[in-house]
Amino acid sequence: MNKVEIESFLKSFVLFFSSLGTLIAILFYINYTQENRTLDEKLFSQMRVCSYDLKCDKFKINFIKHNKQQLYKLYKEKDTLTSFYPIPKSKKYIMSISFEQNNYNEELKKLQKKALWNFLAVLSIIFMLSILFSFYSLSPLRNALMLTQEFIKDILHDFNTPLASLRLNTSMLKKEIGENKKLQRIEQSVENVLNLQNHLRSYLHNHKQQKGEFGLNLLLQDSVTLLEKNYPNIRFKINTNNTTLFTNKEAFSRIINNLLSNAAKYNKNNGCVKIELKNSKLYITDTGIGIKNPKKIFERFYKEQERGIGIGLHIVKKLCEELGIKIDVESKLDEGTTFILNISSLTK
């Protein structure tokens, strides 16, 4: 299950289990209270029978002076349960029948133990039912997500033919009419669509399960080598060690490429992009135009420039969450931006 499915499953399970568990707990408490009253009534009935035949081993019988005690009533005191009964042909004395508190507590413990075991048995059944209910309620969501993912994959695959045709015809037009601003805009648009295609394809993959071991420094060198060809006026500085990471390489590479590409794209002429590793945190700092609202930069479709479609950093955020990377951003207008990746969970 992916993150959305797990979250939906847990919410359904907690809601169903807690609701039924609370209801069952209340019912068992009411039943235990009733059982307690039944025990008192049972003991009181036995005391009444004992007052007639005096055959009562578990009760203590005593004769006391009648001092306004109410007869045929059960008294609950600290140490004993007591009831009083008249003595035939005697107005001065009455019979006291008591049940020791220790024995009474033992009877209560038996009731509590029985109620607890019954409650745990019912609770375990509710636990299993909650799991089954959660899976059942999750089924429509999983089907909808699967259909959506399959649809997106089909669309991404169908993009290849028109994009290949656009790139081929653009190259042919370049040979016929030479360099042209309109052709450059078309090429840039095609590149944006290709980047979006790569982002979406990377986002659809289950990156948590596809882990591998690779060197951070080598991955950064490869990414910078490609960017230096497209941005010859930008200087890239790498200050990292031979740290080995264990995670999904494709997803991590997508994060780095996006951040480095943005750092170069929105940089100043003859600007600089610095990549440093300090205390298991990767800093990507540029000398660019900065960001007005750093808190909104990861929101879907949010953008501060005309270029792009505002989904790249949103996907970066999602990929970071999948890989267990905490990402932060610090920025000042006209001074530059720093993205901070906490990769401590990826190092071996």
pLDDT digits (tens, 9 = 90+) for 162-178: 877 877 888 888 778 87
Q: What is the DSSP letter of 139?
A: H
d(Cα 348, Cα 344) in Å, to the nearest integer?
9
d(Cα 68, Cα 94) in Å, to the nearest integer?
10
For residue 226, give the nearest of 253, 200, 207, 188 by alpha carbon. 253
**Measured CA distances, 331 to 153, 168, 260, 287, 315 (Å):** 35, 40, 15, 10, 20
For the record, the structure tokens of 29 come out as: 């408490």
pLDDT of residue 206: 55
pLDDT band at 282 (very low <50, low <70, confident <90, very high): very high
pLDDT tens digit string along 134-169?
A: 888 888 877 777 777 677 776 766 777 787 787 788
- The owner of tokens 């007591």 is 82
pLDDT tens digit string along 46-59?
A: 888 888 888 888 88
Please report which residue ranges of the chain form alpha helices under DSSP H: 3-53, 101-177, 181-204, 216-230, 249-265, 312-323
Domains of the chain: 3-135 (no CATH), 207-346 (3.30.565.10)
pLDDT tens digit string along 4-47?
A: 778 888 888 899 999 999 999 999 999 989 998 898 888 888 88
**Environment class of residue 325 by beta-carbon count within 10 Å: exposed (0-12), middle (13-18) or buried (19+)?**
buried
Residues 6+ apart with CB under 8 A from 250: 202, 205, 207, 210
pLDDT tens digit string along 189-211?
A: 777 677 667 666 666 665 555 78
Q: Indicate the pairing of strand 80-87 with strand 74-76.
A: antiparallel
Handedness of CA 13, 14, 20, 21 (dihedral sign): positive
pTM of the model: 0.52
pLDDT of residue 348: 64
For residue 74, give the nearest of 105, 37, 110 by alpha carbon. 37
Q: What do you get for the CA distance between the two ends of the chain, in Å?
A: 26
Residue 84 pairs in a beta bridge with 96
Dihedral (C-alpha) 276, 270, 309, 301: value to the nearest 10 degrees? Answer: 50
d(Cα 44, Cα 50) in Å, to the nearest integer?
10
Residues 6+ apart with CB under 8 A from 85: 47, 48, 51, 71, 72, 94, 95, 97
Q: What is the DSSP letter of 345?
A: G
